[in-house]
Structure 1
Amino acid sequence: MTSYRPLHDGWALSGGDVDSVAATVPGCVHTDLLAAGLIDDPYLDENEQKLAWIGRTDWVYETVFSHEPGADRTDLVCAGLDTVATVVLNGVELGRTANQHRGYRFDVRAVLRAGENQLRIHFASAYSYAEAQRDRLGDRPNAYPEPFNFIRKSACNFGWDWGPTLVTAGIWQEIGLQSWSVARLAEVRPQVTVAGDTGSVEVRVRLDRAAAGPVTLVATVAGERVETTTEGDEAVLSLTVRDPELWWPAGYGAQPRYDVDVTLSGPDGELDSWRRKVGFRSVRVDTTADADGSAFTLLVNDVPVFVRGVNWIPDDVFANRVTRERLAARFAQALGANVNYLRVWGGGRYESEDFYDLADELGLMVGQDFLFACAAYPEEEPFATELAAEAREQVVRLASHPSLMMWTGNNENIWGHEDWDWKAALGDKSWGAGYYFELLPRIVAAEDPSRPYWPGSPYSGRDDKHPNDPAYGTMHIWDVWNTDDYTMYREYRPRFVAEFGYQAPPAYATLRRALSDDPLTHDSPGMRAHQKAQDGDAKLQRGLDAHLPAPRDFDDWHYLTQLNQARALSLGIEHFRSLRPLCMGAIMWQLNDCWPVTSWAAVDGDGRRKPLWYALRRSFAPRLLTVQPRDGGLALVAVNDSGEPWPVSAAVSRRTLSGLVLAEVTLDATVAPGSATTLPLPAEVATAADPTQEVLVATAPEQRAWWFFAEDKDIAWPPAKFDAVFEAVGADARVQITAHHILRDLTLSPDRLDPAAETDDSGVTLLPGESATFIVRGGAGLEPTALSTRPVLRCVNDLA
């Protein structure tokens, strides 16, 4: 019987001026040096800038282990080595690796000793390797002055416009000894399909053999069993399941899964076994041409699904710190914001089994990029061979997960080749086209034919169209943020938006944990070190200038920039959703952060929800009321992503800021499942006599939509007058605010008083006389007056 023994204990790390320190495996150099007290925390203050030497140093991991021989074969199994490694056992070189994104296996029968063995893994500097490849093959354009496109390693390790430059090395995934006899299950790939009331599981098996002869394979699922005997290295076992329960995305149905069990037996009994949960569902992308271009609609079990998505980056620079529990918390935040889709971005990692198992369990759809981002990539050796092995391994590993909806060839490289002045710089050098249009689709077609592949994000799907054409395929919108105001989102009529976003700083408690700046200002040294976007602060200021009163101090700046981020994404998302079915996806950039930083994230690097998160929860709600400009006027749009008809009766009124109703209308409609209904508003409601003194509000059960006729900076907001009532409820606090005047975007930030405290709502606008109740988790011991005054409780009226 196959046995596996982890080799995770007794490791030591050395390199550079570091003689020897204890090492954690799986792990990396940075976390080991941090644990040893040899470096300062790179996430704090300006420490990151002091640690560039780590990525330019060679490192050695060593351990000693005992072994008792017995099996026919023993392999050293390395699930992930980061990145340029030479593996030596008992003084014998087993092999060399140069790819973080794939595993390696070494036959160590002839090298292992009975008793004590020494394993040594030398990691050469990733910089030295990448720069040598660049010099050999010729430079190629990329988005940052780093050689990340010349090494198969997470691109964002070399820094990004939201991430630190912390170039890691180490044994970043499992390592151990696998002992086996006769044969083992080298690869098991169940291809699951469903047609009508019949589910099929085609189990493809590849064997490694230590001896010739017949072996028996048995596969079972849902009470069905099939057996075959083979003397070869490959076999296919086909099972049929009648009336399987279908796996559905969250909000569309349940997520039943079935165990697939595979056993391998020889003449003397069982040799190996394998188990994986699978789900029965179909997935395809409709790209039918129409009068507006061509669709890009995801269908699950033949039901069109509007993708309410977020982009996902590695949740920590150091992968060993991303536990299943941490992923579960982040997924709960995604689902809590009414997200149904995670796009795993191509500059990070192929995500873990925990990631995909949780997504399967919770019904979160996933799109996985192959790992290419914002650069021209060489197609010469050794990269061509490495890429083929990497892609095949990852496709086979992930293909059985029902949550995985599609593979995408790269992030922004086809667009970059077209628009970012690459062609002159490249000349006749390769840039990755062979991967995206030939190698990767060929591998997906062979190993995962039931799932769609799309060459890039963005990509129009046609050679005769620009790769970022809104009318075709997928697009990214980055002129908003980089050059244009966020109201520009309304100028687009896209079929599917795979990236768009707007920046803001993290929560105040996150800043204060990470930065010792005194005073803390938007351009103090630590804040500058944690703002990675080019001209990021200037772009934040441009957004404030367009919409909001001028901040008087850092507290104002922090509140207003977070508010502007929330408003920008809400405007974009609600516009895109209002276009349904023309537009069938909006994937905002980004859900999460990997460290404390000013960024586009809704959840900051300490896991705290920014005001944007609450805005996503409203704008991504399965049923949405939104006011949109239409044909020179305004319309109320009701969007229904649920599976049931939605009877809407909305009272729409134009009011003065003091609450006086100037005009009112009631609109009724029944919105069919998976559709949007547009209800034009009459001119007397939709047209303001004095835009600076009037507001439009639409109200229906559990729904409210606003339209302000002027920018906040041009409105004479009344003073922020309200009554506040505090009540302790167990460990929590209930804070009720009753408005004397209209209160615009009321936001509570209890983390300013206790880093562990958080509120259940944010960005609430109240008409005169209305009340809102905030539940502050962990807030029972907080001082009531502090909870209801600036800077903890804020609204735009504060700045009047």
Structure 2
Amino acid sequence: MTLRELHDGWTLRHSGGGIPPAFAGVAAEPVPATVPGVVHTDLLAAGLIPDPYVDDNESLLSWIGRCDWTYELTFDAPADGADNHDLVAEGLDTVARVVLNGVEVATTRNQHRTYRWPVGALLRPEGNRLEVTFRSPIAYAEEREAVLGERPHGYVHPYNAIRKTACNFGWDWGPALVTSGIWRRIGIESWSGARIASVRPVVGVDGDARRVDVHVELEWSDDATDLEVVAHVAGERAAVAASIGTSSVVLSITAPDVELWWPRGHGAQPLYELTVQAGEAEWSRRIGFRSAEIDVEADADGSPFTVIVNGKPIYIRGANWIPEDTFFARITRERLAERFTDAEESGMNLLRVWGGGIYESEDFYELADERGVLVWQDFLLACAAYSEDAELWDEFEAEARDNVTRLSSHPSLVVWNGGNENIWGWVDWGWRPRLKGATWGEGYYLDLFPRVIGELAPTTPYSAGSPYGFSRFVHPNDPKHGTVHIWDVWNQVDYDVYRTYRPRFVSEFGFQGPAAWSTLFSVVHDEPADPYGPLMLVHQKANDGNGKLERGLGAHIAEPQSIDDWHWATQLNQARAVRFGIEHFRSLHPLNQGSIVWQLNDCWPVISWAAVDGHGIRKPLWYALRDVYADRFATIQPRDGGLALVLHNDSDSPWEASVSVRVLTFAGDERTSMDASASVPARSAVSVALDVSSDDPTGEFVVAELSTGERAFWYFDEDPALRLSPSPVVASASAVEGGYEVRVRATSLAKDVTLLVDRADAAARVDRGMVTLLPGDEASFRVTAPAGLDAEVFAGALVVRSANDLVPVTVGV
């Protein structure tokens, strides 16, 4: 019983809605269609539209989302002698009418569901004609909003009136390229006897006991016979007899010899093949054995949000995840694997699949299982009020049951979350007067979703929202309780305000910075290049985003005087702002139990909060995250009118180190020093008071160096006031096996040395960044790039950058 994919031979044609005269050729005749895929990528492949990501093509192509489109295929029926033939569609985007051989099979209106329809009676041996017609999702959403009633939502289109990916209608980091198409697999599944409709393993771990209850849903053919359902895992077996018509059975297996699955950094990730057989039908998937819970019990400081796996608290070092491409069918396992590598190598142990995106592919969750990256999964509601009328309620319930069942086998998935910012929105965003008593989604968060989780995934914890205080009697975004989003930083105030927070858990916060130079200017072609150029602003989706970028420099970085310095300054400031926040959050451990930065990835080339841009290039932020998300972390923080060295040891081994603390001039002369020793138990933090001061705050700094290699810095003033050398490094480059090596020697203090290697070659990547060098230090940077380049391009002034480059010359001399 396998899906015979119907992916080859499709055509696409325009079937309704206005087309601008410049694109009249779109309506001329059908074009080849790639399935899975969407209309935009098919028209692009046919040469009928320009690249939607380039310049202002986004608005040029807005008409596509206002049109109807029809996919057509002719195929032969399976000749396998099976009794039943089902048409299975794993993803239709979104409002579809499915017709087979002139007969309407179904209509759909939910992008996030899998559909199955029996079509055996309609099939012919040869020449079957399948048509899938998609209505304009924008027109449909507007129509349903008029029926259901207008409710607050974050952006132009009423994405809360249709079960389609919210960010597909545009977000403050993403384009409004509203898609239609067969975006996941479609095909014919043929079967006889009994079919395994679904398998839902519910793993239980209680002390040394390991158990899995395998819930199996069955469907029967008319001429089926009684059979035995058998499950195997880890050398253990369970079986149960099933008579004709039995819709479900449960097989319970105790597996005493399995090892526990752990998050990365806490242990191994053993996975065990679970197979289920029912007659000729078979299902298999790898599962892991773990327990998961969240501690939200009130304490003297409020109420925590502590993720606990296998009875062990896990300090969360995470990032929010958005769809990896606006056109989802282009997202491959290889591309996802690259982003998981980005997450792992930066020290992350959790990705939050945000509620304005999608339930990700099996590839995503399998990679998370294999690599030990925890997954926090939102239900797909974001920044809006949602009707609870039956029309949407029924879709939400079907969608939730579909996806919870599909994903329940993955040990990496440890949090289900009701949605993004919707409870906060109802409390704080002026919704109540507009709603006038209308439903807004509370029933989903406090009734439907927890009920579905309790029934289908009872061993995975649930949160009603993010942010959320886990009580109706506290503000949903109170830092003392549960999870908090910190967005006054970036939107309104300087990033030093992070230090005024004492959050239990930060599930969103972040700061913007542009994509890598080569990424950004591959799609932005203003002449001359200008941060406020009209095409640049197409790729800056945040409200007053560039104004906030510039105001965000604050006292930290002087106003840049060129496009090159603007790009470097805003990238640097993004990295510093987020680093500042996480250093503070980690210094509060154990009060603080983690943070989830907004965001790891981008869906296109853009100015955004991402650490890795739309072309997969790691921004300076990524290198800063690798430092502050390290297992062993050191920071100097203000404490009680002085300074303290705070050490957070998020590893299973004690951290013993000698500490040297010095006050140095920028030229490297020592003014004062002190020595100390540090002993930090596993998964703990300690604070060491520092007896240091400076008589020359614009010419001196503090460095704490640990014998285990960590460093922490403190500056007595902001960069524009410091007498930093404007030329603090000497760089040289040479070709080496597998790439290039750049050696950078500091002649005076060089802050945040970073190589923007893509400026020399767009394919180039570098192994480290945001490295502060003491006078006399030498650092080696390894560059991977195409062979045959002149190595010295990687030592150029626009490639080798430091914060010193941005200090006004009158200060640095």
TM bucket normalised to smaller:
over 0.9
Q: Which moved more, 1:203-212 or 1:312-321?
A: 203-212
Residue of structure 2 equivalent to 1:504: 513
Aligned to 1:225: 237
Question: C-alpha deviations, 1:744-784, integer Å up to 9, x for none?
Answer: 22121111111111111112211211111111112764434
The one-letter code sitting in structure 1 at the alignment partner of 2:113 is R
How far apart are the structure 1 equivalents of 2:512 and 2:126? 57
SS in 1 for 2:470: coil
1:59 to 2:73 alignment: no
2:548 aligned counterpart, secondary structure: helix
Q: Structure 1 CA distance, aligned partners of 2:786 and 2:213?
A: 54
- Structure 1 stretches of 4+ with a deviation exceeding 3 A read 779-786
Q: Aligned to 2:266, what secondary structure does the other structure show? A: coil
Alignment partner of 2:797 out of 790, 794, 800:
790
User: Counterpart of 2:214 in 1: which secondary structure?
Assistant: strand
Q: Is 2:252 aligned against 1:238? A: yes
For residue 612 of structure 2, the aligned residue among 603, 616, 641 is: 603
1:689 and 2:695 equivalent? yes
TM-superposed deviation, 1:648: 2.3
Could you tell me how far apart the structure 2 residues matched to 1:691 and 1:177 are? 73
- TM-score norm. by structure 1 comes to 0.98
Alpha-carbon shift at residue 7 of structure 1 (Å): 0.7
What do the CA deviations read for 1:119-171 (whole angstroms, capped 9, x no partner)? 00110010111111110111000111211000000000000000000110010
Secondary structure in 1 aligned to 2:329? helix
Query: What is the rounded CA distance, in whole Å, between the counterparts of 2:521 and 2:303 in structure 1?
Result: 48
Greater displacement, 428-437 / 780-789: 780-789
Q: Could you tell me which residue of structure 2 aligns to residue 42 of structure 1?
A: 52
**Shift in Å at residue 521 of structure 1?**
1.7
Among 177, 182, 185, the alignment partner of 2:188 is 177
CA distance in structure 1 between the aligned counterparts of 2:425 and 2:180, rounded to whole angstroms: 29
- Name the SS of the counterpart of 1:110 in structure 2: helix
Work out whether residues 753 and 782 of structure 1, in 8 Å CA contact, stay in contact via their aligned partners in 2.
Answer: no
What is residue 250 of structure 1 aligned with on the other side?
264
Q: Helix, strand or coil: the match of 2:696?
A: coil
Q: Which residue identity lines up with residue 163 of structure 1 in the other structure?
A: G
Match of 1:97 among 98, 103, 108: 108
Q: Which residue of 2 aligns with 1:755?
A: 762
Does residue 437 in structure 1 map to residue 443 in structure 2? no
Residue 390 of structure 1 aligns with which residue? Answer: 399
- Aligned twin of 1:107: 118
The alpha-carbon deviation at position 202 of structure 1 amounts to 0.5
Q: Is the 8 A contact 1:263 1:274 kept in 2?
A: yes
Are 1:68 and 1:115, in contact at CA under 8 Å, matched by a contact in 2?
no
Contact 1:733 1:779 in 2 (8 A): no
Deviation for aligned residue 1:68 = 4.7
| Residue 448 (structure 1) aligned with residue 454 (structure 2) | no
Match of 1:520 among 518, 522, 529: 529
Kindly state the Cα deviation for residue 653 of structure 1 after the two structures are TM-superposed: 1.1
1:711 is aligned to 2:697: no
Q: CA deviation at 1:181?
A: 1.2
1:23 is matched with 33
Q: Which runs of structure 2 are paired with 1:420-431 in the superposition (5 Å)?
A: 420-431=429-440
1:118 and 2:124 equivalent?
A: no
1:580 is the counterpart of 2:589: yes
2:151 pairs with 1:140 = yes
Question: 2: CA distance between counterparts of 1:306 and 1:375?
Answer: 30
- How many residue pairs end up in the alignment? 791
Pairing partner for 1:188 from 189, 192, 199:
199
CA distance in 1, matches of 2:389, 2:729: 67
- Aligned-partner residue type, residue 439 of structure 1: L
SS in 2 for 1:581: coil
SS of residue in 1 equivalent to 2:122: coil
Cα distance in 2 for partners of 1:193, 1:430 equals 37
Give the equivalent residue in structure 2 for 1:631. 640
Cα-to-partner distance string for 1:194-219 (whole Å, 9 max, x where unaligned): 12222101000111112354221000
Letter in 1 for 2:782: I
The residue aligned with 1:769 is 776
RMSD value, Cα: 1.2
Q: Flag the 1:689–1:760 CA change in 2: closer, same or farther, 3 A.
A: same
Q: Counterpart of 2:336? A: 327
CA contact (8 A) 2:494 2:554 kept: no
Alignment of 1:184-223 (within 5 A): 184-211=195-222, 213-223=225-235
Distance 1:659 1:444 in 2: 59
Runs of 5+ unmatched residues, structure 1 = none
Partner residue in 1 for 2:409: 400
Letter in 1 for 2:122: V
Counterpart CA distance in 1 for 2:469 and 2:186 is 42
**Larger mean Cα displacement after TM superposition, 442-451 or 642-651:** 642-651
Say which SS state the counterpart of residue 119 (structure 1) adopts: strand
Q: Which residue of 2 aligns with 1:12?
A: 11
The CA deviation string for residues 331-384 of structure 1, in whole angstroms up to 9 with x for no partner, is 001101011100000000001100000110010000000000000011102111
In the alignment, the residues of structure 2 paired with residue 60 and residue 673 of structure 1 have an alpha-carbon distance, to the nearest angstrom, of 60
Q: Which residue in the other structure is 1:539 paired with? A: 548
> Which consecutive residues of structure 2, in runs of 5 or more, have no partner in the other structure?
17-25
| Structure 1 Cα separation of the partners of residues 581 and 730 of structure 2 | 34
Q: Distance in 1 between matches of 2:9 and 2:783?
A: 45
DSSP-derived class of the 1:280 partner: coil
Q: CA deviation at 1:312?
A: 0.2
Partner of 1:359: 368
Q: In the alignment, does 2:176 pair up with 1:165? A: yes
Cα distance in 2, alignment partners of residues 319 and 774 from structure 1: 35
SS state at 2:196 partner: strand
Match of 1:513, SS state, is coil
Decide which moves more: 768-777 or 591-600.
768-777
Structure 1 residue matching 2:555: 3-state secondary structure: helix
**Structure 2 length-normalised TM:** 0.96
Which residue of 1 is the match for residue 626 of structure 2? 617
CA distance, structure 1, for counterparts of residue 355 and residue 264 of structure 2: 24
Q: CA deviation at 1:711?
A: 0.5
Q: Is the 8 A contact 1:197 1:244 kept in 2?
A: no
Matched residues in 2 for 1:719 and 1:316: separation? 40
Amino acid aligned to 1:356: Y
